[in-house]
Amino acid sequence: MPTEINNSELMDMEDDELLKEIKLGNQKAFAILVKRHSSRFYAVAFRMLGKQTDAEDVVQELFLKLWSKPDIWQEGRGAKFSTWFYRIITNRCIDFQRKKKPDQLLENFDIADKSNVEEDLDKITRHKMLEKMLLELPERQRIAINLCFYQGISNKEAAEIMEINLKALESLLMRAKKTLKIKAAEINLEEVTV
């Protein structure tokens, strides 16, 4: 007779083990996996989409897909669960962005939403300018910046997420930074940020 795994045992489990439990329909294992990773996954989605509701929708959709069809995760393919999930989030966000026009994308960044109405106008302008600069980067360069700059993801893992080698990733980052510096100088962004 199989013994039931208690919460504390589940909490101590690695992602791979939790996913085995999820394949058996264990809801508690799913809840632990969601609690463990959803904030970081959301952060990546937000950096790419710029809107809280869109980022939440993407992460939720993909977690529920994993719950309904846990076989989409195949252990032993080389990638860690988090690397694989970051990859599918990134791809889903790219699909989402491609369906929108560039102007719509910038509007999508809910910088001046209701909670920020009282925010200093300069600060809002600065945020908008920065987002515009990032949106104008080529797609791969933008993804590299989003992954490497904010999420505490190592360059090695970012390269795995993007399915490229480390040198290619570093080259993308270098080109992105070069472009950003030129654009920032053109619009005097450094002056507004001080």
Partner 1 sequence: MMSDAELNKVLDQRYFKDHSNDFIESIISKAAKLQQDKADEFSTILRNIIIPEPRLTLTLCLAASFLTGIFSNLTLESNLFNEISELMYYGGELL
Using CB under 8 A, pick the residue from 126, 132, 140, 175 that binds partner 1: 126
> Least distance to partner 1 from the beta carbon of 90, Å?
17
Binder among 13, 20, 56, 168 for partner 1 (CB under 8 A):
56
Helix axes 27-49, 15-23, angle to 10 degrees: 120
Interface stretch with partner 1, choices 3-11, 13-21, 84-92, 173-181 (CB under 8 A): 173-181
Q: What is the DSSP letter of 76?
A: T
CA angle 123, 154, 29 (to 5 degrees): 95
Tokens of 157: 């893992």
Q: Is residue 142 a contact partner of residue 88, using CB atoms and an 8 Å limit?
A: no
Decide if residue 20 touches partner 1 (CB under 8 A): no
Indicate whether 179 belongs to the interface with partner 1 (CB under 8 A).
no
Q: Which two tokens stand for residue 88?
A: 């599918």
Binding partner 1 (rule: CB under 8 A), the pick from 7, 11, 27, 102 is 27
Distance of CA 25 to the CA centre of its chain: 27
Q: Spell out the alpha helix ranges (H) of 13-76.
A: 15-23, 27-49, 52-68
Is 131 a binding residue for partner 1 by CB under 8 A? The answer is yes
Cβ-based burial of 50 (10 A; exposed 0-12, middle 13-18, buried ≥19):
buried
Binding to partner 1, residues 69-108 (CB under 8 A)? none
List residues binding partner 1 (CB under 8 A): 25, 27, 30-31, 34-35, 38-39, 42-43, 46-47, 52, 55-56, 59-60, 63-64, 67-68, 109-111, 113, 115, 126-127, 130-131, 134, 145, 149-150, 177, 180-182, 184-185, 189-190, 193
